[in-house]
Amino acid sequence: MSPALTPARRRAAAAVLTAALLVPLAACGNDDGKDDSGKKPAGAAAPKADLTVLAASSLTDVFKTAGAAYEKEHPGTKVNFSFAGSQELAAQVKQGAPADALVTADTKTMDGLGADTGKPSVIAKNRLVIAVGAGNPKKVAELKDLSDSKLKVVLAAPEVPVGRYGEQILADQDIDVKPVSQEPNVRAVLSKVELGEADAGLVYKTDAATAADKVDAVKIPDGENAIAQYPAATLKTSEHAEAATAFVKWLSTPAAQKILRDAGFEKP
């Protein structure tokens, strides 16, 4: 006959049985990575998704690099970019184009979309330069040279951020320029100079750097220049809100900021 269990032994046996019952319950936790409260634990990975990001033309090269880096850090996530002038991107947003995030080359355009976006954050800054043909054959040295009627100057349209910045700095210096054309985005301005269809054009320094073998960049003194700011925000119509928020936040991380710095963009 087995000896009677003492109270102490009964308590110990109950504790062992309780622990054995709890183990399988713990193993059957939520398969979506959430705890019993329905919340994901701190540090949980961003959800996988195919994201569409509308971005200013001047971000074309650097965002291709940034997108590849983000995808490497977040396996299963694909970042697709649609590049255009900020004013074109704003029109797309207002028309309900399917997208998840927006990055413009100025705060004015972003501010005009307050009802359609989350809270924006500036991720980078930029400055203007005068793009001229390789070797600077027309000997352009400063802003006032652009007023020479013999010089074929191309600018972005005033609705475009770089066009508005250019208009601002020319007006501040009381310089009258009659452009041979006004383009829909900064890359179109750069292309005109690259192809020799224009002698000079106002572009961002980062754009000129992408075509360093075809154009030279004439610096504009800080006191005569303008600072472009690049705000990023999620779109309220996004079907991948959590993933879009994770990408926008990533743009301010050291990894993303290094990519932007290496491309010539300045700290926000």
268 residues of the chain, pLDDT tens digit each: 444 444 444 444 444 434 443 333 334 434 344 444 444 443 346 678 999 999 999 999 999 999 999 999 999 999 999 999 999 999 999 999 999 999 999 999 999 999 999 999 999 999 999 999 999 999 999 999 999 999 999 999 999 999 999 999 999 999 999 999 999 999 999 999 999 999 999 999 999 999 999 999 999 999 999 999 999 999 999 999 999 999 999 999 999 999 999 999 999 9
Please state which CATH class domain 126-227 belongs to.
Answer: alpha beta
Burial bucket for residue 59 (CB in 10 Å: 0-12, 13-18, 19+) = buried
Q: What is the Cα–Cα distance from 101 to 84, expressed in whole angstroms?
A: 14
Residue 53: name the closest of 40, 62, 45 by CA.
62
Strands 50-56 and 78-84: parallel
Chosen CATH of 50-125+229-262 out of 3.30.565.10, 1.10.3720.10, 3.40.50.720, 3.40.190.10 = 3.40.190.10
Domain-wise residue ranges, the chain: 50-125+229-262, 126-227
Question: d(Cα 265, Cα 137) in Å, to the nearest integer?
Answer: 27
**pLDDT of 41:** 41
Give the per-residue pLDDT at 129.
Answer: 98
Exposed (0-12), middle (13-18) or buried (19+): which is 51, by Cβ within 10 Å? buried
Say if 50-125+229-262 and 126-227 have the same CATH topology.
Answer: yes
**String of DSSP letters for 172-231:** HTT-----SEEESSHHHHHHHHHTTS-SEEEEEHHHHHHTTTTEEEEE--GGG--EEEEE
Question: Within 10 Å of residue 6's Cβ, how many Cβ atoms?
Answer: 9
